Amino acid sequence: MRFCPQCGQPLNDQEQAGRVRRSCPDDACGFVHWDNPTPVVAAIIEHLDSAGHILLARNRAWTFEFYALITGFLERDETPEAGVAREVMEETGLETESTDLVGVYAFPRRNEVIIVYHVRARGEIRLNEELSAYKLVPPEELVPWEQGTGMGLRDWMRARGLNVPPPVNPNPP
């Protein structure tokens, strides 16, 4: 952000609340770009109709071969539990039976905070237009990735006493 959205002046770096933040130099305006992280929900989907395998999906926009958890942004006035169930339904067509919080993870690269849930779901898998493919993986064969939702998957596996192999890098060189 280069210019103040309230008065149009160029923003500069100023200390605000103990951190350097992009701020308007006009004291009468007082705008501060807090750059707060965006809340994102993520689902480790246990597909109950497939012997408890975990559903991983590939986003249509990705230029490399990688499968990950279902994720999405929270809507206004939505609880994280309702948001993750909505995302599961919208992206996979599955009906959520239960949600259990796995953990909350900072994802600085995208300025997000990711709230990861273990979701038990049933139904026929029907991917929406955002996703190009999916696979169902037995929990003991999962391999977490280094960043973002991969940390939640790692913690979920550890909590179940599963062997956690070294993480993979989802972004090939």
Give yes or no: residues 103 and 132 share one domain.
yes
**Quick one: which of 77, 60, 53, 58 has its CA closest to 68?**
58
Give yes or no: residues 146 and 126 share one domain.
yes
Q: Given a cut of 90, is residue 123 above it in pLDDT? A: yes
CATH number reported for the structural domain that contains residue 88 in this entry: 3.90.79.10
> What percent of the chain lies above the pLDDT cut of 90?
88
| 3-state secondary structure (DSSP) of residue 90 | helix
Give yes or no: residues 72 and 22 share one domain.
no
Least confident of 58-62, 154-158, 166-170: 166-170
- Contact status, residue 158 vs residue 144, Cβ threshold 8 Å: no
Q: Given a cut of 70, is residue 173 above it in pLDDT? A: no
Q: Given a cut of 60, is residue 167 above it in pLDDT? A: yes
Average pLDDT value for residue range 55-63: 94
86-105 pLDDT per residue, tens: 999 999 999 999 999 999 99
CATH number reported for the structural domain that contains residue 22 in this entry: 2.20.70
Q: What is the pTM of this model?
A: 0.88
DSSP notation for 25-45: S-TTT--EE--PPEEEEEEEE
- Please state the domain count of the chain: 2
Give yes or no: residues 13 and 68 share one domain.
no
Q: Given a cut of 80, is residue 172 above it in pLDDT? A: no
Domain residue limits at 61:
38-159
Residues making up the chain, counted from first to last: 173
